[in-house]
Amino acid sequence: MMFEEKTMKSDKLYEGKMLNLRVDTVELPDKKYSKREIVEHPGGVAVIPIVDNDSLILVKQYRKAVEKFLLEIPAGKVEINEEPRVTAIRELKEETGYSTDKMEYLMEFYTSPGFTNEKIYLFLATDLVKGEASPDTGEFIEVEKFKIDALIKMIERGEIIDSKTIIGINLAKKYLDDKQ
């Protein structure tokens, strides 16, 4: 028998641009109280952009939180009242310049449900048409094309270390293998 944690008190500690922080006091199944530190996040989309039937378009950018340049699938925050599919088309175009109407929903997942409600909606983009990128102010992004088999090896060598990108590349591999 499992029980939910009952919220006894909820303290907002910070309301920011990208995230909020709150601490909930919860009642556990044994009636004891505990604290839960929770980061509220609007959630995002991530896109697996497939080109040439064997390659993906990835983006490289500096991630201050980890003090590293990371190679990732294109992604972005969902705006208020925006359909994730619309976000996916918009972010792909902004970050990479590629546009398409073929944006297929694949799955959604939580990045780290132990402390944040951030959820990512993952899409597969095909029939891509190349164009001009138009990143947001403050975004500095490099766009690069990689063969799917090279990407699988880069995961194995620890050169791709972003969770959504690992999930996306594995799904792209399955999709491309199934098509052959």
The residue ranges that bind a second copy (CB under 8 A) are 2-5, 7, 13-14, 16-19, 21, 23-24, 26, 28-29, 32, 34-39, 41, 44, 60, 62-70, 72, 75, 107-120, 137-138, 140, 142, 155-156, 158, 161-164, 166-167, 170
- What is the SS3 assignment for 45? strand
Q: Least CB distance from residue 156 to a second copy, whole Å?
A: 8
Residue 146 to residues 20, 41, 141, 167, Cα–Cα distance (Å): 36, 30, 16, 16
Rounded to a whole number of angstroms, the minimum distance from the CB of residue 131 to a second copy is 22
H-run or E-run covering 8: strand 6-15
**For a second copy, the closer CB: 15 or 52:** 15
- Quote the least distance from Cβ 85 to a second copy, whole Å: 16
Minimal distance in Å, beta carbon 129 to a second copy?
26
How far is C-alpha 27 from the geometric centre of its chain's CA atoms? 32
Tokens of 125: 């983009």
* DSSP per-residue codes, 81-135: T--HHHHHHHHHHHHHS-B-S-EEEEEEEES-TTTB--EEEEEEE-S-B-----P
Residue 27 or residue 82: which is nearer to a second copy going by CB?
27
Q: How far is the CB of 32 from a second copy (least distance, A)?
A: 7
The answer to whether 61 touches 140, Cβ cutoff 8 Å, is yes
Nearer to a second copy, 9 or 52 (CB): 9
Name which of 69 and 129 has its Cβ closer to a second copy: 69
